[in-house]
Amino acid sequence: MTALSSQILEAIDFAVELLREARHAIVLTGAGLSTPSGIPDFRSAGTGLWSQDEPLEVASLTTFRTHPERFFEWFRPLARQIMYAKPNPAHQALARLETQGRLQTVLTQNVDMLHYKAGSKHVLELHGTLRTMSCTQCYQQYGHENFLQAYLEDGTIPLCPACSAILKPDVILFGEQLPQKTMAEAQQEARKCDLVMVIGSSLEVLPVAGLPMQAIDHGAHLIIINNSPTYLNMRADIVLPEDVAKIIPAIADKVLHE
């Protein structure tokens, strides 16, 4: 941490103070939290997924329904990266904060399961998850374990054991509603928290991007740790455009006196 400027070190100390004083702290995490784990984000120029593919052509509910093989072909390399990715120090630091009672809930836009792999328990997956798959005909839900390996190895499209229809990964596609129960829980968390940390999210995708605004409208402090600006930077107590894999562990270490 010696390479960080005095201004950044002061911001870290302020974040530590806010976390120690918080009675109910939550975080909202986005793709920028998982890029240190080797999973690409969506909007970075040149490297983001949407700089290479048109989202409505490959990752929409319409495409999945009409040309599922196109979706599965596009999704396969990303799914492989996700399945073999490991939590980075930022994921692990957030799990430590939760274990020690300093963090109550993780709200995440990510579908990569890395919060769970790191040890976080109370995670709300706002854009769905790869942990489960659902049948498009009989709506049975299955764990991914018996289906994804063959898909990753040779592109075999997963089929329902009960009715042989295609299984859809339980990730939210364009044109698909967010999980209502999960979003209701997230809104409740936003309204009752007294501190929200936005980590690795540019806050560009609604309705999730509105959750921090709900929090600060109810009196919560706001910390933003993200490389690019967000629409809430001017409302934040602290803005740290720094490497999440360094900043989050540094904050956690000080909060927990490690």
Q: Is the pTM of this model over 0.75?
A: yes
List per-residue pLDDT tens for the chain, 258 residues long.
Answer: 446 788 899 999 999 999 999 999 999 999 999 999 999 875 444 444 444 555 657 778 998 999 999 999 988 988 889 989 999 999 999 999 999 999 999 999 999 999 999 999 999 999 999 999 999 999 999 998 888 888 999 899 999 999 999 999 999 998 899 999 999 999 999 999 999 999 999 999 889 999 999 999 999 999 999 999 999 999 999 999 999 999 999 999 999 985
Residues 6 or more apart in contact with residue 213 via CB below 8 angstroms: 232, 235
**248: domain range?**
1-39+87-126+179-258
**Secondary structure element (H or E) that encloses residue 80, with its range:** helix 68-84
Q: Give the residue numbers annotated as catalytic, written as ranges.
A: 127
Q: Are residues 167 and 255 in the same domain?
A: no
Q: Are residues 225 and 112 in the same domain?
A: yes
Q: Are residues 31 and 143 in the same domain?
A: no
CB atoms within 10 A of CB 253: 15
Residues 141 and 158 in one domain: yes
Amino acid at 121: K
Residues 30 and 93 placed together within one structural domain of the fold? yes
CATH number for the domain spanning 200: value is: 3.40.50.1220
Encoded amino acid at 1, one letter: M
Judgement on whether residues 29 and 147 belong to the same structural domain of the protein: no
Q: Which of 111, 141, 171 is the last residue of a domain?
A: 171
Q: Are residues 35 and 45 in the same domain?
A: no
Same domain, 166 and 195: no
Question: What own/partner pairs with CB < 8 Å and gap ≥ 24 does 243-248 have?
Answer: 243/36, 244/32, 244/33, 244/36, 244/90, 244/199, 244/200, 245/36, 245/88, 245/89, 245/90, 246/1, 246/89, 247/12, 247/90, 248/89, 248/90, 248/93, 248/94, 248/199
- Number of structural domains, the chain? 2
Whether 140 and 198 map to the same domain: the answer is no
- Say yes or no: 139 and 218 in one domain: no
Q: Give bridge partners of residue 195 from the DSSP assignment.
A: 25, 221
CATH of the domain at 155: 3.30.1600.10
- 142 and 67 assigned to the same domain: yes
Query: What is the sign, positive or negative, of the torsion defined by CA atoms of 224, 22, 119, 2?
Result: positive
Which of 104, 138, 171 terminates a domain? The answer is 171
* Residues 143 and 234 both lie in one domain: no
